[in-house]
Amino acid sequence: MATVKQLMNLEGRVSVVTGGATGLGLQMATALAEAGSNVVICSRKLENCQAAAHEIENLGVKALAVACDVTKPDQVEAMKDAMLEAFGRVDVLVNNAGRAWVAPPEDLPLERWQQVFDLNITGPFLCAQVFGREMIRQQRGKIINIASIAGLVGRNPKAYNSIAYGSSKGALVNFTRDLAVKWAQHNIHVNCICPGFFVTPLNQKLYEKNKENIDREIPLGRVGGTDDLKGLAVLLASDASNFITGAIIPVDGGTTAW
């Protein structure tokens, strides 16, 4: 019987975090590194990835910075090749890269709808496909999709008005369930974290504008903090979650509980 410390230990493992240079992605990448994992940080801006990788290496692990647009198959393949050259394996994929476009449904341009879907659902599919092939060869792996509570329920437009975001995250939720069933035979665990409102550089202005409406919807009375995704990310990446797959887990201060 393994101890909890042994189950949660990620030493020697390799984790890929898309959109890992800032915000929630960096929080989770840092958590995986703190648990011992080497980390591949990807986003479209290489300089941001390099800064994050340097920060993570201060924790005593190895980090690789890769510029990658996850909606481009050739760039995802190149990231996989760089990872294999550096580390020779992949254990964890965190599909975190995403975007939103705030507009009433009646005013949302089709082009923006398509851009949101390309990054929020096509990107995770491409990354899961490319890195999943390596996991199938290994007969083990952990995939963690980052959706949102906006993919679970309708949202009050006074707090957050982005139907493309909510719709794409709803697609990611069921993508998680179906992929978990498809790849269970390969010992690949696929789970989904659905954050509530966390303040990031991308939504800081939105929060400041709608703080009262946003806070009112959260039973705990506050938005997510800088440590609030760490524990769950490590749990789902580790052997402690070896009997968990297809799970959809809100981290939202109770927002979806009422």
The answer to whether position 255 is within a domain reads no
The answer to whether position 72 is within a domain reads yes
Q: Is the pLDDT of residue 228 over 90?
A: yes
Element (H, E) at 51: helix 46-57
CB-CB contact of 35 with 237 (8 Å) = yes
Q: Tell me how far CA of residue 28 lies from CA of 34, 35, 81, 133, in angstroms.
A: 10, 11, 23, 23
pLDDT digits (tens, 9 = 90+) for 58-111: 999 999 999 999 999 999 999 999 999 999 999 999 999 999 999 999 999 999
Give the pLDDT of residue 226: 95
Q: Tell me how far CA of residue 91 lies from CA of 15, 83, 116, 136, 156, in angstroms.
A: 6, 11, 27, 11, 38
CB-CB contact of 86 with 144 (8 Å) = no
**pTM surpassing 0.85?**
yes
The answer to whether position 104 is within a domain reads yes
Q: Which residues are catalytic?
A: 165
What is 219-236 written as a DSSP string? TTSS-B-TTTTHHHHHHH
**CA dihedral sign, ordered 224, 97, 173, 101:** positive
Backbone angles phi, psi at 190, to 5 degrees: -125, 115
The answer to whether position 83 is within a domain reads yes
Q: Which amino acid is at 15?
A: S
The answer to whether position 36 is within a domain reads yes
Task: Name the domain count of the chain.
Answer: 1
**Bridge partners of residue 146, in order along the sequence:** 193
pLDDT digits (tens, 9 = 90+) for 142-199: 999 999 999 999 988 877 889 999 999 999 999 999 999 999 999 999 999 999 999 9
Distance CA 42, CA 47 (A): 10
Q: Residue 96 burial by CB count (10 A; 0-12/13-18/19+): exposed, middle or buried?
A: buried
Q: Residue 89 burial by CB count (10 A; 0-12/13-18/19+): exposed, middle or buried?
A: middle
Distance between alpha carbon 231 and the CA centroid of its chain, in Å? 14
The answer to whether position 205 is within a domain reads yes
CATH code at position 166: 3.40.50.720
The answer to whether position 227 is within a domain reads yes
pLDDT above 70 coverage of the chain, percent: 100
Q: Which domain holds residue 36?
A: 4-250
The answer to whether position 256 is within a domain reads no
Give the pLDDT of residue 203: 84
